[in-house]
């Protein structure tokens, strides 16, 4: 069942902020985002990559296999 395998996290930018930590798709409720200030997309992408690297390390430490992570920009 993919709903238990997919994990989502939201990073907003303007300023860069982790809006939601990783959670399974069935528990995810998208936050209400409001445009505010600058749009440092590059910094947000770097933060997303950092979060994914941390998550992968946690999986490796616990012997959990995972699929290739994806980053989506909206």
For tokens 């699929």, name the residue: 67
Residue 66 lies in a domain: no
For residue 37, the model assigns a pLDDT of 81
Please tell me the predicted confidence (pLDDT) of residue 3.
64
Say how many domains are in the chain.
1
What is the spatial distance between Cα 66 and Cα 74, in angstroms, rounded to a whole number? 24
- Contact assessment for residue 4 and residue 24, using Cβ atoms and an 8 Å cutoff: yes
Task: List per-block mean pLDDT (blocks of 10 residues) for the chain, which spans 74 residues.
Answer: 80 92 92 88 94 95 91 87
Q: In which domain, by residue range, is 10 found?
A: 2-61
- Please check whether residue 68 lies inside any domain of the structure: no
Determine the pLDDT at residue 38. Answer: 86
CA proximity to 11, closest of 24, 38, 30, 37: 30
């Amino acid at each position: 069942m993919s709903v238990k395998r997919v994990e989502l996290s939201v990073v907003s930018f303007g300023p860069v902020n982790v809006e939601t930590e990783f959670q399974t798709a069935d528990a995810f409720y998208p936050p209400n985002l409001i445009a505010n200030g600058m749009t440092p997309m590059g910094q947000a992408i770097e933060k997303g990559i950092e979060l994914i690297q941390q998550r992968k390390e946690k999986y490796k430490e616990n012997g959990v296999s995972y699929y290739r992570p994806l980053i989506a920009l909206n």
